[in-house]
Amino acid sequence: MNKIRPYRQIIECLRGAGLRPTRQRMALAKMLFEGEGRHVTAEVLHNESISNGVSVSLATVYNTLNQFTAAGLLREIVVDGERSYFDTTTTDHHHFFHTNTGELEDIMADDVIMQNLPVPPMGTKITSVNVIVRVSPA
């Protein structure tokens, strides 16, 4: 769900994920899924919603992002203990994190080769590996 979608497709997508298509979810989904893959923080999405005339609290934005993530519509990328981004591209891939701007940039999954992963603890299995490469200006 990375492209501009008509409201009917957004409604179907939300319902298919088990979410009721409320006015606020619809407005936030439209902003999130316009264009190609996006990486947004709750604060950025909240500011966008205000700029677009959508009356929604920051708490509602956080709740909606977490609901979309739990439903598989977004991926949460935690770059440090204080900052999480929500990624509209849910397929396996990695990220560059630009430390000077706070921007995330996709790295194709095939561009990172994983070797010698540790043996997971007994009774568990590795389900995914997410690489964040921190970069700064040279």
| Percentage, residues of the chain above pLDDT 70 | 95
Concatenate the DSSP letters of all residues of 123-137 into one string. Answer: T--------EEEE--
| Cα distance between residue 22 and residue 54, in whole Å | 13
Band (pLDDT 50/70/90 cuts) for residue 6 is low
Band (pLDDT 50/70/90 cuts) for residue 5 is low
Residue 34 CB neighbour total at 10 angstroms: 14
**Domains of the chain in sequence order:** 7-86 (1.10.10.10), 91-135 (no CATH)
**Separation in Å, CA 75 to CA 10, 22, 53:** 18, 21, 26
User: Please, are residues 14 and 47 in contact by the beta-carbon 8 Å criterion?
Assistant: no
- Phi, psi at residue 104, to the nearest 5°? -105, 140
pLDDT tens digits, one per residue of 104-134? 999 998 899 988 999 999 999 998 888 999 9
Q: In the predicted model, what is the mean pLDDT of the chain?
A: 90
pTM of the model: 0.86
Q: Quick check: helix, strand or coil at residue 70?
A: helix
Can you give the pLDDT at residue 13?
Answer: 86
Please compute the mean of the pLDDT values over residues 87-111 and round it to a whole number: 93
